[in-house]
Structure 1
Amino acid sequence: MAARLRTAAPALLGPVLLPGLIGTPAHAAPDWTLAPAPGAGRPYVYAEGAPGTVLEDRLTLANPGAAPLTVRLGTGAWVALAATTVTVPPRTRADIPLTVTVPPGTPPGERTTAVTAAATRPAGRTATVRLHLRITGPAVAALSVEDVSTEGPTVRYTLVNRGNTVLRPRVELSADGLLGTAHRRTARTTPAELRPGHRVTRTETWGERPFLDSVSVRVVATAGPGTRADATASTTVVSRPAQAAALTSAVILLFAGIRRLRRSRTRPRATEANP
């Protein structure tokens, strides 16, 4: 049930006398209970709504004993209670309003949370009520590939889930140069799920790199029909043999230049004849 967000916590409903327990000896009284209101017929709280809505329900704290009961309440994500500490007189129950606020942008699907209660007087006992939430809305699958870069034989890229559904991307890596295809790897699934709003950075290593080429590296990611993204980065590939050959050529040219310089310095200069 949808409702406006409350600016203040609502007051607890007044204690209600539990029938049939008047005159019950304290030692024979059953334990206190925390359950969805009215306390029977619902094993857990169920709520359904779209992102940005506030859902309302109630819990019932019953004290069938002969002494007052005080409990401290705790909640999971999105849940707020009218009070976090409740005292219930003997042989009565109290209804505790609760609200569930679904954050805007929450992806559709199922969520589970809980409300816990721990007795402080008398101390020692706890109870838990589960809350099952169903977030409605259209499912949107969106994926992007970002920050593609290369460093030596390593290609680095980032996958980002831009939608509201969990994705298992498949990634294909290719490198095309001026001299043809430098590298190509068939698509394969990433080892982990990518949740909405999350990103993961991965690295790949080239198999056989070209000897010397200007290469465009392309990363293509898919996650089901209609969900596709790609990005590219350019780099100049110089293999170690090419580097060695370039260094050897540079050394040869350097020594040739030094020899020419020495020869030019030792050669006698021609003098001009007197007229």
Structure 2
Amino acid sequence: MPAPPTPRRLGPAVRRLDPTLRRLGPALLAGAALLLGAPTAVADEPGWTAEPAAGRSAGAVRPYFYLAGTSGSVLEDRLALTNTTDRERTLTLRGADAYNTADGALAVRPARRSTDAGSWLSFGASATVRIPARTRAVVPFTVSVPPATPPGDHPAAIVATEAGHEVGVRIHLRVGGPTLAALTVENVSVRGKGAATRVTYTLVNRGNVTLAPELALHARGRFGEVPGRAAHPLPVELLPGRRVELTEPWPGAPVFDKVRLNLTVTAQGGARATAGASEWFVPWGLAGWTGLGLLALGATTTAALLLVRTRRTPREEPPEPAGPVPGQGQPTAREHELTGAPR
């Protein structure tokens, strides 16, 4: 059986984002790092870019596609491809489903593995595009939403490929109907100690819309409140139905205490979930010396008891009389012991 294909993760693209995109928040940057093409030339670029064509407003820049419609509808938009080199380029276009990897990054399905919105895209006769040198080409495409498609978000991307180099352009597609924002927090545990303490947990999107969650960490020990972490955005965009494993630094963890830790995650739309764990924090160096001290104390106590016992005077037995005592009969003969053998 062949090995499963490696998810497409275009992390270096985050360094090529326009400054406007950097102000859109960490959740969007997480998606941009994977799915946005590079609008600014850098050394590792292939010599071309892919991005949404400018909006109807003059000069409007779109970091991704946003499409909305009902099930059974056909949606249209345009992709802009720019050749920044002095030779012709040939690009191949395809649609792909987007998903979260286990650590929360965004990735796209490989070719012929998409079963949701990525398979609804069509470029007509423009799936292969030849772009002359120093030229910008605009390619129309359609998204045909199947009838009876469940409402909510259906994340996808357009993937442009040339000579093994791929650039993805994100598509936010929402199908009309009731939406549900819901999530759960699972498998909370604590690792490390001191300033290096980290809390690991699993976050699951139980609804049908994409979530940009926030996390707050509260803790209480045997000696009162313990410094936690105030609510702050998580650097992840959680897609519907996806499960991710995240790690949160906890520099305020105590040195010696038993702590009840509670994680509260919230997101737009009223999504809220809480989970917790109990953890002992013990400085093992101190615990080791304490254990040795208790062992030494126990050994000293045992030695003292033995010494006292050996110093006690043996109890003297009264002497037996040398002969018969007047007034008493002769001593009777000792009875034989029963050994089971005849005498």
TM-score computed with the length of structure 1 as normaliser? 0.51
1:135–1:204 CA distance, 2 compared to 1 (3 A)? closer
- Within 5 A, what are the aligned runs for 1:191-270? 191-224=235-268, 226-240=270-284, 242-260=286-304, 262-263=306-307, 266-267=310-311, 270=314
Any idea what SS the aligned residue of 1:101 has?
Answer: coil
Picking from 203, 207, 229, the partner of 1:185 is 229
Any idea what SS the aligned residue of 1:252 has?
Answer: helix
Picking from 161, 165, 170, the partner of 2:209 is 165
Structure 1 spans left out of the alignment, 5+ residues:
1-45, 57-73, 82-98, 115-131
How many residue pairs are counted as aligned between the two chains?
179
Shift of 1:112: 6.8
Residue 271 of structure 1 is matched in structure 2 by 315
Shift of 1:218: 0.5
Residue 146 of structure 2 is matched in structure 1 by 101
Structure 2 spans left out of the alignment, 5+ residues:
1-66, 75-93, 97-117, 123-143, 160-171, 320-343
105-114 vs 243-252, which deviates more?
105-114
Picking from 175, 178, 198, the partner of 1:138 is 178
1:263–1:239 CA distance, 2 compared to 1 (3 A)? same
The Cα offsets for residues 225-272 of structure 1, whole Å up to 9 and x where unpaired, read as 622211111222223354245324323323324423652575466233
TM-score computed with the length of structure 2 as normaliser? 0.42
151-160 vs 263-272, which deviates more?
263-272
1:110–1:273 CA distance, 2 compared to 1 (3 A)? closer
Picking from 128, 131, 150, the partner of 2:190 is 150
Any idea what SS the aligned residue of 2:247 has?
Answer: strand
**Identity percentage of aligned residues:** 35
The answer to whether the 8 A contact 2:188-2:275 is kept is yes
- Larger proportion of strand: 1
- Across the aligned residues of Structure 1 and Structure 2, the Cα RMSD in angstroms comes to 4.0
The Cα offsets for residues 159-209 of structure 1, whole Å up to 9 and x where unpaired, read as 111111111111111210121012311222111211111122122343243
The answer to whether the 8 A contact 1:108-1:137 is kept is no
Shift of 1:217: 0.4
- Larger proportion of helix: 2
Q: Distance in 1 between matches of 2:251 and 2:158?
A: 47
The answer to whether the 8 A contact 1:162-1:197 is kept is yes
Which amino acid in the other structure matches residue 150 of structure 1?
V
The answer to whether the 8 A contact 2:151-2:179 is kept is no
1:257–1:189 CA distance, 2 compared to 1 (3 A)? same
1:261–1:234 CA distance, 2 compared to 1 (3 A)? same
The answer to whether the 8 A contact 1:212-1:242 is kept is no
Q: Distance in 2 between matches of 1:231 and 1:146?
A: 7
The Cα offsets for residues 124-167 of structure 1, whole Å up to 9 and x where unpaired, read as xxxxxxxx976221332112111112244332211111111111
Which amino acid in the other structure matches residue 49 of structure 1?
T
Residue 49 of structure 1 is matched in structure 2 by 70
1:190–1:102 CA distance, 2 compared to 1 (3 A)? farther
Q: Distance in 2 between matches of 1:135 and 1:193?
A: 19
